Chain A
Amino acid sequence: MLQLENIIKDFGGLRVLDSLSLQVEEGLIFGLIGPNGAGKTTLFNIISGLSRPTNGQVIFNGTDITHFSPSSIAARGMGRTFQNIRIFKELSLLENVLAGMHCLYTYSPVAMLLNLPIQRQEEKVMREKAMEILDIFHLTGKAQRQAESLSYGEQRKLELARALATSPKLILVDEPAAGMNPSETEELMGEIVQINNRGYTICLIEHDMKFVMGLCQQVAVLNFGKLIALGTPEQVKCNPLVIEAYLGKDAC
């Protein structure tokens, strides 16, 4: 589904990603871990088109998307969330999710101005869909509230809901459990499994090892921009390179 070939990214003289090649198979929950500064978020930015690699290719569903704009990559079925939450704070929860559905709409500006039936029909269908998505995250009761009023954990969930609203084939999730308490994290794990069961492929960055090891079928470990290990959580956990660079002796 997603194929990275020889990705290199330089910031000035600093090589942040070094000849990175990876493959994410359809249907997986794929984990990307590594110490701070390893290049995980940079890699997400490159995959979603927010930043261009110095060299290398990103292939998504057979298309080379390396030089596509973020919006056209999104329209091809890639959703993402951000490490520092980027919800639309002044919009309601429902409006946040509806904004995420932008590409699913088809009606034209003319239909908008004339209030044609296609517009009313679409708005109605989308609203129902949006409520269904909010329901996965137990947020339907707050649909009309302003997004800013949510708790930190709920804001993360809303962002995930909004990413899901784009109807993506692959969702990139950047540190979803950061700042959540243990019970919220637990709930989130359930929700991610639920999303995955609906057929969405998920690629996530996370520092909470319980979360990663419990969810992911495959894990890649980055250190200083290089892939140092790839495999099932069990394989990765006991890899000496990973223990030295990131997890420490007690992990295995």
Chain B
Amino acid sequence: MIEFLMSFWQTYNTLFYTIMVHGMLALSIYITLACGQLSLGNAAFMGIGAYTAALFTMKLNAPFGLALLAGGMLPAFVALIIGAPTLRLSGVYLAMATLGFGEVVRVVFLNISITGGSVGLNGVPPKTELWHLFLVMGVLIYFFLKLKNSRFGRAMEAIREDEVAASVMGIKTTWFKVWAFAIGAFIAGIAGGLNAHFTFFLSPREYGFDFAVDILTFAILGGTGTFWGPLVGSTILTIMPEMLRFIGPYRLALNGLILVLVVIYLPNGIITVKKKD
């Protein structure tokens, strides 16, 4: 039995690590969705965090904690710069700006020498341990639990429901949207740093538009009514391709089919919050 568990863990520990990282990314987009804003830049923020943290440990020999912190701070700072002008407007402007931003980041990674260009960064030291992932995830869950029933969480829900009505309640809508976006970028950056230190290898291709959409799918599939939704969504979407391995070459098609069915029959996501009515 113990032997079985050991070999199971050996085979699947990377999958488990990936589930945790994808969970963090799903939360990073959830916090902007909770303000009614769509960010397509979270893959890019993850990339900035991954490269920053990796360069800190590789070139500066910085302690892992410091590297992760830097990997969170830089994307958050960049998010403040992009967010401050675009989030003053209501509507789809953040989606448009982050869509472009994601491309810019990818091309920058491809062309500057410190990130290794198209070759990427090789030999990132393996520093991420299981307890790091649990710790970060634990802190995030605590944060979202506290946010939920606080005045800040309510203000965000109000903005999502009706931005104009929220503003005449005295809620500073731009302030909330910008901070939610920056906190999301911070979370994505930390997730990127953690990810970089167990995959050992970074390439600009990993942080492109496709992955930005994947992150969005995590949240939408799970449901955006509560933060548990994105966590469930990301877990299912990370495990499913592995579970479907037995059907061989058609697994991605089946994967897509399941997604379509979920969207048709559970338009609000898998986890829906039901209030009394």
Name A's B-contacting residues (CB within 8 A): 48-50, 69-75, 78-80, 82, 86-92, 95, 98-100, 102-103, 105, 107, 109, 112-113, 115, 119, 123, 144-146, 148-149, 162, 165-166
Chain B 239-277 per-residue mask, 1 if CB under 8 angstroms from chain A, else 0: 000000000000000000000000000000000000111
Q: Are B161 and A74 in contact (CB under 8 A)?
A: no
Question: Does B152 sit at the interface, judged by CB under 8 A?
Answer: yes
Using Cβ atoms and an 8 Å threshold, which residues of chain B touch A162? Answer: 169
* In the complex, residue of chain B having the shortest beta-carbon distance to the beta carbon of A95: B154
Using Cβ atoms and an 8 Å threshold, which residues of chain A touch B32? Answer: none
Of the candidates A48, A82, A98, A166, the one whose C-beta lies within 8 Å of that of B154 is A98
Of the candidates A75, A86, A119, the one whose C-beta lies within 8 Å of that of B165 is A86
Of the candidates A100, A112, A144, A166, the one whose C-beta lies within 8 Å of that of B147 is A112
| Least CB distance, B215 to chain A, in whole angstroms | 24
| Least CB distance, A150 to chain B, in whole angstroms | 9
Using Cβ atoms and an 8 Å threshold, which residues of chain B touch A123? Answer: 149-151
- Between A and B, 25 residue pairs with Cβ closer than 8 Å are A50-B167, A50-B168, A71-B167, A71-B170, A74-B167, A74-B168, A74-B169, A75-B170, A86-B164, A91-B161, A92-B275, A95-B154, A99-B154, A99-B171, A102-B155, A102-B158, A102-B169, A107-B151, A112-B146, A112-B152, A113-B143, A123-B150, A144-B276, A162-B169, A166-B170
| Least CB distance, B40 to chain A, in whole angstroms | 24
Q: Are A99 and B277 in contact (CB under 8 A)?
A: no
Using Cβ atoms and an 8 Å threshold, which residues of chain B touch A146? Answer: 275-277
| Least CB distance, B208 to chain A, in whole angstroms | 33
Chain B 128-169 per-residue mask, 1 if CB under 8 angstroms from chain A, else 0: 000000000000000100110111101101100110111111
Of the candidates B157, B169, B170, the one whose C-beta lies within 8 Å of that of A95 is B157
| Least CB distance, A41 to chain B, in whole angstroms | 13
Complex CA gap A146/B274 in Å reads 9
Q: Are A166 and B276 in contact (CB under 8 A)?
A: no
| Least CB distance, B217 to chain A, in whole angstroms | 22
Complex CA gap A69/B162 in Å reads 16
Name B's A-contacting residues (CB within 8 A): 143, 146-147, 149-152, 154-155, 157-158, 161-162, 164-173, 225, 275-277
* In the complex, residue of chain A having the shortest beta-carbon distance to the beta carbon of B274: A146
| Least CB distance, A142 to chain B, in whole angstroms | 9
| Least CB distance, A115 to chain B, in whole angstroms | 7
Complex CA gap A69/B166 in Å reads 12
Query: Most A CB atoms within 10 A — which of B150, B170, B277?
Result: B170
Query: Most B CB atoms within 10 A — which of A70, A91, A149, A166?
Result: A70
Using Cβ atoms and an 8 Å threshold, which residues of chain A touch B146? Answer: 112-113, 115
* In the complex, residue of chain B having the shortest beta-carbon distance to the beta carbon of A150: B277
Complex CA gap A92/B166 in Å reads 15
| Least CB distance, A146 to chain B, in whole angstroms | 4
Using Cβ atoms and an 8 Å threshold, which residues of chain A touch B164? Answer: 50, 70, 82, 86
Complex CA gap A166/B170 in Å reads 8
Of the candidates A88, A103, A145, the one whose C-beta lies within 8 Å of that of B157 is A88
New contact pairs (8) apart from A71-B173, A103-B170, A115-B146, CB-CB < 8 Å: A49-B168, A50-B164, A71-B169, A80-B168, A88-B165, A91-B157, A113-B146, A149-B277
Complex CA gap A160/B16 in Å reads 50
Complex CA gap A82/B164 in Å reads 10
Using Cβ atoms and an 8 Å threshold, which residues of chain A touch B275? Answer: 90, 92, 144-146
Of the candidates A49, A90, A99, A145, the one whose C-beta lies within 8 Å of that of B169 is A99
Of the candidates A90, A99, A119, the one whose C-beta lies within 8 Å of that of B155 is A99
Q: Are A119 and B276 in contact (CB under 8 A)?
A: no
Query: Most A CB atoms within 10 A — which of B143, B168, B171?
Result: B168
Q: Are A102 and B150 in contact (CB under 8 A)?
A: no
* In the complex, residue of chain A having the shortest beta-carbon distance to the beta carbon of B142: A113
* In the complex, residue of chain B having the shortest beta-carbon distance to the beta carbon of A69: B167
Complex CA gap A113/B173 in Å reads 21
Using Cβ atoms and an 8 Å threshold, which residues of chain B touch A70? Answer: 164, 167-168
| Least CB distance, B199 to chain A, in whole angstroms | 31
* In the complex, residue of chain B having the shortest beta-carbon distance to the beta carbon of A146: B275
Q: Are A105 and B151 in contact (CB under 8 A)?
A: yes
Q: Are A87 and B165 in contact (CB under 8 A)?
A: yes
Query: Most A CB atoms within 10 A — which of B155, B167, B169, B277?
Result: B169
